[in-house]
Amino acid sequence: MPIIIHEKTGTFHLTNDSVSYIFRIMENEQLENLYYGKKIHDREDFSHLHEEEMRPQMSISVPEPSLLSMHYTRQEYPSYGTGDYRSPAVSVLQENGSRVVNFTYDSHEVFAGKKPLPGLPATYVEEDSEAETLEVHLSDKLTGTELVLSYTVFADLPAIARHARFRQTGSESVVLEKAMSASVEFLDMNYELVQLSGAWARERYVHVRKLDMGFQGIQGLAGTAGGAEQNPFIALKRPETTEFSGEVYGMSLVYSGNFLANVEVSTFDMTRAMLGVSPENFAWKLETGESFTTPEAVLVYSDAGLNGMSRAFHRLYGRRLARGKWRDEPRPILLNNWEGTYFDFTEEKLLAMAREAKEAGIELFVLDDGWFGARNDDWAGLGDWYCNLEKIPSGIGGLSRKIEEIGLKFGLWFELEMVNPDSDLFRAHPDWAIHVPGRFRSHARHQYVLDYSRPEVVDYIYEMVAKILAESKISYIKWDMNRYMTEPYSVGLPADRQGEMMHRYILGVYSLYERLTTAFPEILFESCASGGARFDPGMLYYAPQAWCSDDTDASERVKIQYGTTFVYPVVMMGSHVSAVPNHQLFRTTPLKTRGAVASFGTFGYELVLGKMKPEELAVVKDQVAFMKKYRRLIQIDGTFIRLLSPFEHNEAGWIVVSEDKREALGLYFQRLNKVNGSWVRFKLAGLDPDRLYTVSWEVCGERKVYEAYGDELMSVGIPVNRADLSAEGGDFAALLYEIKG
């Protein structure tokens, strides 16, 4: 099994076929990190990896003649105040005002499998043989604060899941001011920091920067993981690491609230990376007997480049983070009315759209914003989750049944964490919106955020939603969240617990998700936050897909989806074909390109089919049929590999390959056409080198065919004809290759 313990030397070796993670109990009884990386031989004793010598300015925190200085020691869970001048993983404020702690080893236990984290999303196992867990118990003897560091090693993946748990057993209370989920030490600083950053409509762009001495990192403080600006993920890669080769360490936080990912390089090029709940505005009080569990951090090591790292995340998050009926099911092809109608719809208009969708082969009709309360624009109605009968006389129950009679499933939009000041809910409960008494309430999109740290608020919303769901035929829910948080404060909490509010809020959101998904296990949930502002593993534990971005322009989507696949499998990415000119960018891209790009996701439409020309509708029918044929391969069974980065080239490319390598789908995309351009060969990956493949693709209704061995396709590539690209629209043209062998 993956966890080897050498009791005599106090050494813990977490290992499987690909990784080794080694730490030990030091002479001061704290834990020292010795190595993390590619699997190495096991040994009884790894203490030769400990380095110490006399250094200037060194503070030694054990009796002489030892030279153990915490500043030069790689640690499992470092604290501040005993000679380590780098960022700590933990900060504990005590009643006497001190923050100095000394967490020393007490005991450890190992068990097969993995336990759930109470109230928190986390990866899981279905069989105990899939993973092994080590829990090391430490405590600060003076305060009686216990700390458990938990490590789960997955048997078949280069992945380790970590979290920390605290329990106060001393007679005095303590306040956790910082409690990271994981801290990892690296032997040198020759790394680049990879992050997925952006803004609304350009979420999860790939950014890479060289590490330098001092701090570097990202954080999210908007109350929605990192919002559109930062994803709760970082990777450290070697400068020479590419998509296909070289070392990379990925760190991903299974959390949807404020987070910090901090990398600090100190003197002597020591690199410390940590990930967890942001310490900003965080302070969690532990009275005697109380405990706190950090969210889970997932560490992935790959020596097969960025694609190697992503493959591990895709497998873990696709199969052992997502849950429920939909985890292993291809997703329904949907039509969402938002960009087609915005708030301007009637029941008749919706039914007409649904009939057109049925005609095209679409399976699910989703009614977006605007069906409830006095919601005719974004000024009113949020919080009033009952149907606006002026717009929909049959009510949601009646409409949903009519849609089912047409032969489609029915889905509905909610924004359950929000309230408009102009709503019955706010008029009845103004104190349910987050605010600081006596201070101005910042607003965004004319709305406030409900205080989900208060269980009575969550209960009330649950009852409202459960009623609609029980009365109607609802197969899908789009759960939106359209503003960032301000004035974090809860009138439901005492002053000394206000630092808990932001985390309690997200625990409240998780609890509502848990209740709804448990009570309505058949419903497919898609999370959303002004597009992709809450695309994080925490959400994906409850809702197995998330709207990737409000930007539906195909060319922009190539970038957004490319970046998103660094961590998240394509089946989790909500992707739709929308009308042109595009509503966000006013750009026109070919319909075939829009379909091809959206195919590598959950797939759907966000337009009025009735406004399309007959020849366009024929293309839509083909796209729907294509998706039905290939969605199991794309979404569930296949391995996704990035081939050409749109962040580095005018072109982009990726491929999905079946497990037996007999079937694959490749996408080649170019931004701008080139006149009299150079020869292009599109190199594939993941195929069987010895297999003869037939590659086929369509150009203006005509099928073209090319035969080659896997090794040719991977080493030489498919010759891409410039005339094909021009015929398919030139600028923003895409070629979709069907590969069979």
Report the catalytic residues: 480, 550
Q: Which is nearer to ligand GLA, 296 or 553 (CB)?
A: 553
What's the token pair of residue 25? 């109990």
Please choose, from the candidates 681, 679, 669, the residue with its C-alpha nearest in 3D space to the C-alpha of residue 731.
Answer: 669
Distance of alpha carbon 597 from alpha carbon 581, whole angstroms: 17
Q: Which is nearer to ligand GLA, 513 or 547 (CB)?
A: 547
Asked if 530 touches ligand GLA (CB under 6 A), the answer is yes
Cβ of residue 561: shortest distance to ligand GLA, in angstroms? Answer: 16
SS (H, E, C) 176-219: EEEEEEEEEEECCCCCEEEEEEEECCEEEEEEEEECCCEEEEEE
Q: Which is nearer to ligand GLA, 122 or 598 (CB)?
A: 598
Asked if 635 touches ligand GLA (CB under 6 A), the answer is no
| C-beta atoms surrounding 476 within 10 Å | 23
Asked whether the beta carbons of 414 and 477 are under 8 A apart, the reply is yes
Asked if 682 touches ligand GLA (CB under 6 A), the answer is no
Residue 91, strand partner residues: 178
x/- track of binding to ligand GLA for residues 463-492 (CB under 6 A): -----------------x-x----------
x/- track of binding to ligand GLA for residues 543-572 (CB under 6 A): ----x--x----------------------
| C-beta atoms surrounding 259 within 10 Å | 27
Cβ of residue 530: shortest distance to ligand GLA, in angstroms? Answer: 5
Cβ of residue 661: shortest distance to ligand GLA, in angstroms? Answer: 37
Cβ of residue 283: shortest distance to ligand GLA, in angstroms? Answer: 33
Q: Tell me the backbone φ, ψ of residue 105, rounded to 5 degrees.
A: -65, 135
Helix (H) or strand (E) holding 106: strand 103-112
User: Site residues for ligand GLA, window 65-84 (CB under 6 A)?
Assistant: none
What is the arrangement of strands in the sheet containing 19-25, beginning at the earlier edge strand?
A: 3-6, 11-15, 19-25, 31-38
Look at the block and give the residue holding tokens 């994906």: 540
Q: Which is nearer to ligand GLA, 529 or 685 (CB)?
A: 529
Q: Which is nearer to ligand GLA, 28 or 549 (CB)?
A: 549
Residue 728, classed as helix, strand or coil, is coil
Handedness of CA 124, 127, 131, 135 (dihedral sign): positive
Q: How many residues bind ligand GLA (CB under 6 A)?
A: 11
Cβ of residue 478: shortest distance to ligand GLA, in angstroms? Answer: 6
> How does DSSP classify residue 559?
H
Q: Which is nearer to ligand GLA, 19 or 333 (CB)?
A: 333
Asked if 368 touches ligand GLA (CB under 6 A), the answer is yes
- One-letter amino acid of 164: A
Binder of ligand GLA out of 318, 531, 601, 666 (CB under 6 A): 531
Cα–Cα distances (Å) from 395 to 415, 483, 618, in that order, read 18, 28, 33
Q: Which is nearer to ligand GLA, 301 or 345 (CB)?
A: 345
Asked whether the beta carbons of 666 and 640 are under 8 A apart, the reply is no
Cβ of residue 338: shortest distance to ligand GLA, in angstroms? Answer: 5
Give the CA-trace dihedral at 205, 210, 216, 222, to 10 degrees.
Answer: 0
Only segment of 403-411, 502-510, 524-532, 668-676 that touches ligand GLA (CB under 6 A): 524-532
x/- track of binding to ligand GLA for residues 300-339 (CB under 6 A): --------------------------------------x-
Cβ of residue 371: shortest distance to ligand GLA, in angstroms? Answer: 11
Q: How many CA atoms lie within 13 A of 647 on its CB side?
A: 18
Q: Applying CB under 6 A, which residues contact ligand GLA? A: 338, 368-369, 413, 480, 482, 528, 530-531, 547, 550
